Structure 1
Amino acid sequence: MAGEAFARQLLDHATRLSGTRIPDLVAADPGRAQAMALRVGPVYASFARQRIDPPALAMLEGLAARAGLASALRALVDGADVNGSERRPALHTALRSGIGRGRAARDAHAQALAARTRMAELVASLRGSGVSDIVNVGIGGSDLGPRLVVDALKDFGDGRFRLHFISNVDGSEVQHVLRGLDPARTAAILVSKSFGTWETLLNGALVRDWLGGGERLYAVSANVPAAEAFGVAPERVLPMWDWVGGRYSLWSAVGFAIALAVGMQGFEALLAGAAEMDVHAVEAPLEANLPVRHALVAVWNRNALGLPTQAVLPYDQRLAQLPAYLQQLVMESLGKSVRSDARAPDLATVPVVWGGAGTCAQHSFFQALHQGTDTVPADFIGVVRPAHAYAGNHAALLANLLAQAEALGNGHAAEDPQKAHPGNRPSTLFLLDALTPHSLGALLAMYEHSVYAQSVLWGINAFDQWGVELGKRIAGELLPSLRGEGAAGDPVTRTLIDEIRARS
């Protein structure tokens, strides 16, 4: 767990390296490119352009060892109550692998296998039903994960179903998604663990009525009675559990939409890729552990270098949803200003995660990445083998990926200061052999384990999200006021409500 002593060590190493630039680190060590790279199955990661040297990295690995990070990773998969504030485990790993040794993990894995069997039966029945379009209704983890994976793996579907997603409570999204669909050939999946998620129920009611009832309505929920009361037959309700947080749930029946898009075989391959990373995370030594290395670099950038944001830059259009997915995974998990022991953290915690897909992002915000006053560390993600035959396009894409990472790291001197690039801007570069269900599963699981490792180092709980609830509660209190039924809110809100009602 981070403390004052660790903060001093970070400062000492950061001060020692303050005059050392990334090109200097690379030039001083001919073997750095190889030594700072790790591979797990189809995922290769190069940390050579991070502003860190072997002594600083060894210091971080020593911190991880003293914090009991290896034991913490094992406790996660074994089913210990790692979610302290809610006194329960976080067993998303049990959804995809049976490596957990505890009773809770074994039971969870058995439940996951049973749910997967039921999901396979529903997938098969839908394939023979004449349905052509599937609408997934959910928000947060019930939307971002399935939306990302369906989009990323579009080359692996057989085209049997077209997938659509509704998440925003804004009725415009419902209107635009349903426009042009035939209700007689459409089925909908309502995804809500509690079946009390406000946005999902509002949108779900619109979709149910548009369908003409619940005949082609499916649900993924822990609250079967509420789903039944909504009009979903119990045989069309797949389970969720309180030991899986929403942002970690795409591996469960929340991935029903994924299985419909890529088939059960593709879904199983996604889980297998994640399971491969699970085994690596709990068995690899800290110094050769990919998610641990990623976490240590993240802590270094946030705390030693004082960099408050993190860019995610996938150089594959199929991964365009990855920054949004990681925003929730990282910022909901690590957005804590209180440690698990109720004390304030000794160090800053969560970075702001943002980004976009290359090469489009190069023509958007890369100017600020290269010449802005703030340094933004970046994760670049590339794919070696494309799923198309346009070799020239893919070569250009990879050239841009490599060039941007090199330019950010090395910079460019120029007599005209307007044309100078300061460089020394750190990045990690991931290469997937190909974008497949297996490699995508491994990559996403890597990020999950990295986030958990960061939480252990900072001493915070990665699995609760109390900060999501306050605004939702206040919104519920304000609804009557928007309808003209009394007054609620503070003076500013009441003035705004008057302005809204005057123009409604």
Structure 2
Amino acid sequence: MNKINPSRTDAWKKLKEHYAFMKNRHMKDMFRDDPDRFSEFSLSFEDILIDYSKNIMNKETMRFLLELADESKVGDAIEKMFSGDKINETEDRAVLHVALRSRCQDTPVYTEHRNIMPDVINVLQKMEAFSARIISGDWKGYSGKPITDIVNIGIGGSDLGPVMVTEALKPYRKPHINTHFVSNIDGTHIAGTLKRLSPETTLFMIASKTFTTQETMTNAHTARKWFLEKAEDEAHIKNHFVAISTNSDEVKKFGIDPE
């Protein structure tokens, strides 16, 4: 992918000069001079509103910013991302979160000359079906009781991502299911969490792409030992542990059903 330093473009120079002109402007004056400012500097899509009218900017600012994007080839980079090109140069791989967020199977996303959307849709449908079983109580623990507590074990993005989503969607949470997050390798973190839970009604989600992350697997094995002290049968692990991982061999060794 072409590497262009934005600060070396003509548009950047224009923006620097423009900043000197704009920096002392006051927001109240900008709204007074342009009563339609909100309409000019806002966008909406379904239930989402993006309001950037309360920034020190005007139509000329937007023009220079668009010129900067054009000179920096942002459009080409976006096209490459949606086309499945390997724009992640560090790992030499495609950046496919756009495929995970798509719900349109008719719009293909290619990587390695293969449309991955059918696989993405299939996994998302499995996730939805799994979630529905937990919420409805159809998924039972080893004693026949429904799940009441879910513990996510992970670090970094495998912790922060789920925490952020859970916080953002808190108004929609199901009151009969509690969520917990364990990320610290310090044993007091998981010990304090387990103290409040019952093995019969707890589901652990082990989030590790490789299933070898030291901090995550240390906590996972602590949870496994705690669970088996009560359940006493490794066959019950499949009812109380699930994995978010690409390493199916290690997942099986742990006792989790890869399906």
Instruction: Identify the TM-score tier after normalising by the shorter chain.
Output: 0.7 to 0.9
Q: Which structure is higher in helix share?
A: 1
Matched, 1:118 2:122: no
Judging changes above 3 Å, is the alpha-carbon distance between structure 1 residues 7 and 159 closer, same or farther for their aligned structure 2 residues?
A: same
Distance in 1 (CA, whole Å) between partners of 2:45 and 2:129 is 33
Q: What does residue 109 of structure 1 align with?
A: 117
Q: Which has the higher contact order (CA 8 A, sep 6+)?
A: 1
Distance in 1 (CA, whole Å) between partners of 2:113 and 2:174 is 34
**Alignment counterpart, residue 67 of structure 1, candidates 46, 67, 72:** 72
Identity in percent: 29
1:210 deviates by: 1.0
Judging changes above 3 Å, is the alpha-carbon distance between structure 1 residues 163 and 18 closer, same or farther for their aligned structure 2 residues?
A: closer
Q: Is residue 99–residue 109 contact of structure 2 (8 Å, CA) maintained in 1?
A: no
1:147-296 counterparts in 2 under 5 A?
Answer: 147-212=163-228, 213=234, 214-215=237-238, 216-235=240-259
1:60 deviates by: 0.7
Distance in 1 (CA, whole Å) between partners of 2:253 and 2:45 is 46
Which secondary structure does the structure 2 equivalent of 1:48 belong to?
A: coil
Q: What does residue 142 of structure 1 align with?
A: 158
1:120 deviates by: 4.0
Q: Which consecutive unaligned segments of at least 5 residues does structure 2 have? A: 229-233
Greater shift in the superposed pair: 154-163 or 90-99 = 154-163
Q: Is residue 78–residue 105 contact of structure 1 (8 Å, CA) maintained in 2?
A: no
Q: Is residue 153–residue 182 contact of structure 2 (8 Å, CA) maintained in 1?
A: yes
Judging changes above 3 Å, is the alpha-carbon distance between structure 1 residues 17 and 151 closer, same or farther for their aligned structure 2 residues?
A: closer
Distance in 2 (CA, whole Å) between partners of 1:138 and 1:221 is 11
1:103 deviates by: 5.0
Distance in 2 (CA, whole Å) between partners of 1:161 and 1:67 is 47
Q: Is residue 81–residue 87 contact of structure 1 (8 Å, CA) maintained in 2?
A: yes
Judging changes above 3 Å, is the alpha-carbon distance between structure 1 residues 105 and 176 closer, same or farther for their aligned structure 2 residues?
A: farther
Which secondary structure does the structure 1 equivalent of 2:90 belong to?
A: helix
Judging changes above 3 Å, is the alpha-carbon distance between structure 1 residues 104 and 157 closer, same or farther for their aligned structure 2 residues?
A: farther
1:174 deviates by: 0.8
Matched, 1:9 2:5: no
1:115 deviates by: 1.8
Q: Is residue 76–residue 82 contact of structure 1 (8 Å, CA) maintained in 2?
A: yes
1:324-339 counterparts in 2 under 5 A?
Answer: none
Distance in 2 (CA, whole Å) between partners of 1:75 and 1:148 is 28
1:308-365 deviation line (CA, Å, top 9, x unaligned)? xxxxxxxxxxxxxxxxxxxxxxxxxxxxxxxxxxxxxxxxxxxxxxxxxxxxxxxxxx
1:18-48 deviation line (CA, Å, top 9, x unaligned)? 3322223222222212211111111112212
Q: Is residue 42–residue 51 contact of structure 2 (8 Å, CA) maintained in 1?
A: yes
Q: What does residue 231 of structure 2 align with?
A: none
Q: Is residue 23–residue 56 contact of structure 2 (8 Å, CA) maintained in 1?
A: no
**Alignment counterpart, residue 55 of structure 1, candidates 47, 57, 60:** 60
Q: Is residue 78–residue 102 contact of structure 1 (8 Å, CA) maintained in 2?
A: yes
Judging changes above 3 Å, is the alpha-carbon distance between structure 1 residues 79 and 125 closer, same or farther for their aligned structure 2 residues?
A: same
1:82 deviates by: 1.3
1:124 deviates by: 5.1
Judging changes above 3 Å, is the alpha-carbon distance between structure 1 residues 138 and 57 closer, same or farther for their aligned structure 2 residues?
A: same
1:100 deviates by: 4.0
Q: Is residue 96–residue 109 contact of structure 1 (8 Å, CA) maintained in 2?
A: no
Greater shift in the superposed pair: 40-49 or 159-168 = 159-168
Q: Which consecutive unaligned segments of at least 5 residues does structure 1 have? A: 236-504
Judging changes above 3 Å, is the alpha-carbon distance between structure 1 residues 183 and 38 closer, same or farther for their aligned structure 2 residues?
A: same
Judging changes above 3 Å, is the alpha-carbon distance between structure 1 residues 151 and 78 closer, same or farther for their aligned structure 2 residues?
A: same
1:4 deviates by: 2.1
Distance in 2 (CA, whole Å) between partners of 1:232 and 1:76 is 34
1:354-373 counterparts in 2 under 5 A?
Answer: none
Q: What does residue 92 of structure 2 align with?
A: 87
1:152-187 deviation line (CA, Å, top 9, x unaligned)? 323334434222111222222212211221112212
Letter aligned with residue 68 of structure 1: K
Letter aligned with residue 86 of structure 2: D
Distance in 2 (CA, whole Å) between partners of 1:66 and 1:100 is 28
Aligned length in residues: 235
Distance in 1 (CA, whole Å) between partners of 2:189 and 2:181 is 9
Distance in 2 (CA, whole Å) between partners of 1:46 and 1:118 is 36
Q: TM-score, normalised by structure 2?
A: 0.81
Aligned CA RMSD, in angstroms, stands at 2.2
1:375-410 deviation line (CA, Å, top 9, x unaligned)? xxxxxxxxxxxxxxxxxxxxxxxxxxxxxxxxxxxx
Q: TM-score, normalised by structure 1?
A: 0.44
Judging changes above 3 Å, is the alpha-carbon distance between structure 1 residues 28 and 121 closer, same or farther for their aligned structure 2 residues?
A: closer
